[in-house]
Copies of this chain bind each other. A is one copy, B any other.
Amino acid sequence: MNTRCENCIIRQFNSLRAMSKEELKRVSDTKTTKTIKKGEAIFAEGEKLNGVFCVRDGVSKLSKLSANGKDQIVKLASKGEVMGQRSVIAEESSNLSAIAVSDMEVCFIPKEGIVDVLHQNPNFTVEVLRHMAHDLREADDVIVNMSQKTVKQRIAEAFLYLRDNFGEDADGYLSITLSREDIANVVGTATESCIRIISEFKKKKYIKTSGKKIGVQNEKALRDLVDGF
């Protein structure tokens, strides 16, 4: 793969932009680019990661398997996001597994390339810290939503979230396509319950569907639902 980090626009969206030209060149020399097919795993829960993965294209779900065999999707990572940093920084094995939700292209950066810079370039470290602080806030919000909102509210919120964070296509459908099961795993409910609520929303014209694709049709209704009427 001939693309060099120095020339990669993606890094504008993540902490790598705080690296100096020199550091970036060194990272670029050790990185490798991989193509991953939809459904394939990038890494698994419990695995020791010896590097981080920078998403160049596509979307990956970061999930955790629970005792009863269900997956809980904790985060969706798309273009520009770095996966696995938490584990590399904490020097622990991964608490999440990453599976491609669409065909992907990711760069693997060996951890030495990251850790060395962390200890030498405070700007970079602070930038990583900021990102993690942001992730932590989001996680707090998810906790509150999980415990205080109904499944219906969480599904409504998920659609708004997906639209705001991944965009929609020309016809008004969400750019990201998830199976009903994945949606259920994002909001933490049974697949059947999720499908039932999607049907209800469709009947009420809150959303429209076309195959697996889903589009927000009545933003206000969804928002009112989330906020408790």
Question: A70-B148, A144-B74 are contacts. A118–B129 as well, Cβ < 8 Å?
Answer: yes
Q: What are the residues of chain B within 8 A of A95 when measuring CB–CB?
A: 137, 140-141
Which residues in window 55-104 of A have CB below 8 A to B?
64, 66-68, 70, 72, 74, 85-87, 89-90, 92, 95-96
- Least CB distance from A229 to B in Å reads 10
Task: Tell me, yes or no, whether A146 is within 8 Å of chain B by CB.
Answer: yes
Report the Cα distance A126→B92, complex, angstroms.
Answer: 15
* Majority secondary structure, A binding face: helix
Interface string of A129-160 (1 = CB under 8 A from B): 11011111101111110111100000000000
Check B139 against A72 for contact (C-beta < 8 Å): no
Stoichiometry (number of copies): 2
B228 & A67 in contact (Cβ 8 Å cutoff): yes
Q: List chain B residues, Cβ under 8 A from A87.
A: 133
Report yes or no: B146 in contact with A143, Cβ–Cβ below 8 A: yes
A121 interface residue (CB < 8 Å to B): yes
Q: With A125-B122, A129-B125, A132-B129 as given contacts, are A66 and B140 in contact (CB-CB < 8 Å)?
A: no
A227 within 8 A of B: yes
Q: Using a CB-CB cutoff of 8 Å, which residues 173-193 of chain A contact chain B?
A: 187-189
The answer to whether A89 touches B123, judged by C-beta atoms less than 8 angstroms apart, is no
Of B66, B129, B132, B146, which one neighbours A188 at CB under 8 angstroms?
Answer: B146
Question: Is A7 an interface residue when CB atoms closer than 8 A count as contact?
Answer: no
Asked if residues A90 and B148 are in contact (CB atoms below 8 Å), the reply is: no
The answer for the CA separation of A68 and B150 in the assembled complex, in Å, is 11
Task: Identify which of residues 37-65 in chain A touch chain B, using a CB-to-CB cut-off of 8 Å.
Answer: 64
What residues on B are CB-neighbors of A86 within 8 Å?
133, 136-137
Please state if B144 and A72 are interface contacts (CB–CB under 8 Å).
yes
28 contacts between A and B (CB under 8 A): A64-B140, A66-B148, A66-B149, A68-B228, A72-B143, A72-B144, A74-B140, A86-B133, A86-B136, A87-B133, A89-B126, A89-B133, A90-B137, A92-B137, A118-B126, A119-B123, A119-B126, A121-B122, A122-B122, A125-B125, A125-B126, A129-B129, A136-B139, A142-B143, A143-B143, A143-B188, A147-B187, A147-B189
